Every structure is written in structure tokens, then in C-alpha cells.
């Protein structure tokens, strides 16, 4: 997602208590930060924060962390999530830095919602469901790993199915048209609301890996 640079973004990140600018210093200490031992779920590419905020509202017994690499986008998310939600934090970070932010087993589920499909063949290793990424996710999540994926891109979805299988993940709740399926409890992202309103199918899967 690309949005125009916001002149107020830097100040928003510095002054919004929801944004954690020293995230590497929290490695191994996220339970202390949230002041509880509840499970931690992470979203990579949280965009403007709609999905992760709705989850934090719906599941107060879970701690949620939204990551976004674009400064202006995470600043918009921070500004929009003005409700008091002690179980929500936002990070201006890149997916490649997960091992710098969390100890092994410190979070239990990862959400990948409408990630960049990197459609050119030469860029397939940059897709967040490339097997190299999947291996890194399961290594850092430890004994039990969960990755939930949603996308509007059929090619990325088919690629992801193959990559999960190649890395020996168990797949469930696979949907080729989520909004016309029997799946219950779906929380939509901003992209999802837009695409589904246009009649586009939403693809979804759940991947789990147990050591």
C-alpha cells in the first residue's frame, strides 16, 4: 500500500503511546509490556489498523501487535486507533526484522492480510509466503506456529498453497471465496471491505506447524 507522505507522521509516531519506537528493546519482554501472560498475535502489514484494532476490541484476552513498514501508513493507524486498548501495540518495522523483535515462542499467531503479491517471477522470494519466510516464522514461533492468510490475488494464493505444503504446514479453513463460504467470525480489513464490495473473491487459509 502506498500513500502520500504525511508531514505530521513523524510527530504522530513520537507522541502516540500506542506506537513502540524501541521495539527491539522489548524483545523477550512483551509480556511485561502488556502486563499479562496472554497470547500475542502479530499482523505484518497492518495498514491503517482496521483489522488489528477490531481484533483487539473483540478479543481483550489476546494481545495484538500490528507491524507496518511505511511511516505514513503506521502514523495513520496510530491516529485512528484512539480508543483505550491496553492489548494493542503498533510497530514501525519490517517483516524481515521479526527475530530482532521477539524471542522464540513469544508470539503464537501471524496474520498476513493482502500482502504485496510481487507478481514478477524474479521477485517471488520477496513474497511473505515464500518458503524461506515460512521457515523463519515457524522457527521464531517455536513449538506451535500459526499463519493466517487472506488475499484477493489468486496467483499469490496458489503460490502460497504450494509453499505451505513444501514446508510441511498443515492447512485448514481454505476458502476460494470467503464471503460466500460458511466461515464464521471473519473480521475484515480495509482492503477486504473495498474488494468484496466490488464483488471480488477473497482467498483465505490457515496454516499450522507443530514441532
Q: For the chain, how many helices (H) and strands (E)?
A: 8, 7
pLDDT tens-digit map of 139-197: 999 999 999 999 999 999 999 999 999 999 999 999 999 999 999 999 999 999 999 89
Instruction: With a cut of 90, say whether residue 103 has pLDDT above it.
Output: yes
Can you point out the beta strands (E) in the chain?
Answer: 40-44, 63-68, 88-92, 109-113, 144-151, 170-175, 203-210
Write down the domain spans for the chain: 9-210
Q: Which of 116, 152, 167, 210 is catalytic?
A: 116
Statement: 9-210 belongs to CATH 3.40.50.620? no
Q: What is the predicted pLDDT for the residue at 68?
A: 93
Q: Which cell goes with 5?
A: 507522505
Instruction: With a cut of 80, say whether residue 23 has pLDDT above it.
Output: yes
φ/ψ of residue 148, rounded to 5: -110, 130
Q: Which cell goes with 94?
A: 519490517
Q: What is the predicted pLDDT for the residue at 82?
A: 67
Asked if 37 is an active-site residue, the reply is no
- pLDDT-derived band at 2 (thresholds 50, 70, 90) equals low
pLDDT tens-digit map of 35-44: 999 999 999 9
Q: What is the predicted pLDDT for the residue at 106?
A: 97
Distant-in-sequence, close-in-space partners of 145: CB < 8 Å, separation ≥ 6: 108, 110, 137, 138, 208, 209, 210
When the pLDDT of each residue in the chain is averaged and rounded to a whole number, the result is 93
pLDDT tens-digit map of 83-93: 789 999 999 99
Residue that has been written with the C-alpha cell 524471542 in this structure = 103
Amino acid at each position: 500500500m502506498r500513500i502520500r507522505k504525511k508531514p505530521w507522521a513523524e510527530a504522530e509516531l513520537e507522541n502516540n503511546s500506542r506506537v513502540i519506537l524501541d521495539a527491539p528493546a522489548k524483545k523477550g519482554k512483551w509480556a511485561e509490556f502488556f502486563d499479562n501472560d496472554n497470547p500475542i498475535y502479530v499482523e505484518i502489514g497492518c495498514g491503517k489498523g482496521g483489522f488489528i484494532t477490531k481484533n483487539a476490541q473483540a478479543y481483550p484476552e489476546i494481545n495484538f501487535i500490528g507491524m507496518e513498514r511505511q511511516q505514513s501508513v503506521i502514523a495513520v493507524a496510530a491516529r485512528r486507533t484512539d480508543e483505550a486498548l491496553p492489548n494493542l501495540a503498533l510497530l514501525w518495522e519490517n517483516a524481515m526484522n521479526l527475530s530482532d523483535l521477539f524471542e522464540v515462542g513469544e508470539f503464537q499467531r501471524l496474520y498476513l492480510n493482502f500482502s504485496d503479491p510481487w507478481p514478477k517471477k524474479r521477485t517471488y522470494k520477496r513474497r511473505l509466503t515464500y518458503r524461506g519466510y515460512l521457515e523463519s516464522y515457524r522457527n521464531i514461533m517455536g513449538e506451535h506456529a500459526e499463519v493466517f492468510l487472506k488475499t484477493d490475488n489468486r496467483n499469490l494464493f496458489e503460490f502460497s498453497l504450494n509453499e505451505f505444503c513444501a514446508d510441511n504446514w498443515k492447512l485448514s479453513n481454505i476458502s476460494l471465496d470467503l464471503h460466500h463460504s460458511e466461515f464464521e467470525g471473519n473480521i475484515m480489513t480495509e482492503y477486504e471491505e473495498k474488494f468484496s464490495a466490488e464483488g471480488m473473491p477473497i482467498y483465505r487459509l490457515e496454516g499450522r506447524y507443530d514441532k
